[in-house]
Amino acid sequence: MRTIAVACSIWAMLAPAVAFAQDDDLFARDGVYLLFQGHFFPENFDRPMLEEPIRVDKADGGWGASAHFGYRLRPRWAAEVQVDWVKSFDFDTGLTKPSSKTASIENGVNLSANGKLYFLTGLFQPYAVFGLGMTSFQLDDADGNALRGRDTGFMYRGGLGIDMYGAEDETMALNLEFSYIAPTGDASPYDHMSVGWGFLFRF
């Protein structure tokens, strides 16, 4: 009886580890996924480069959304295409003319191909994300008139995030992610960050 009791005790201690190992395989399986996020975009604009034709004071962060289509390649790797939409960044210009006292950077779009490296593969999966792509923004005055042509350029993305699964469901996870977007070319003044939250769906 003592042998049985000892064996049961050992199994009781090992069972969670075995289950967790199985969960690792389950939650890190290959397959297609979709991720939908809401976003707040804090700005980090290069103000001297935006001073033609206006000055930028008191800029507000922008709100937006994103969609990701990806594939989990290996337990620790994934590749995806991400599209961000940024509604607007509003700011004061410091000028007195009513039509130019306030301005906004409207309808920003970021499109990138990303890679993800997962540090853990169980219920909680922190990861690093890095990407390359294109970005585009339109600078408008308070009346909605374009202050100059649409600014477009290449961009780099880098950040950290986490997928958090439920104990018995590997098909859906809560996602949190922070990344920095660094544009180049005509869009180089529009550095900004992305704070995203949403749901990941696995297939």
Q: 3-state SS string over 125-158?
A: EEEEEEEEEEEEEEEEECCCCECCCCEEEEEEEE
Look at residue 62 and tell me whether its pLDDT is greater than 70: yes
What is the number of structural domains in the chain? 1
Note down the domain range covering 111: 2-202
Position 144 pLDDT exceeds 90:
no
The CATH number of residue 90's host domain is 2.40.160.20
Residue identified by tokens 């004061």 is: 92
pLDDT band at 21 (very low <50, low <70, confident <90, very high): very low
Average pLDDT for 34-39:
98
Would you state the structure tokens that stand for residue 14, as one six-digit string?
């090992």
- Percent of the chain past pLDDT 70, that is, above it, reads 70
Q: What local confidence, expressed as pLDDT, does residue 180 receive? A: 97
- pLDDT per position as a tens digit, 111-122: 999 999 999 999
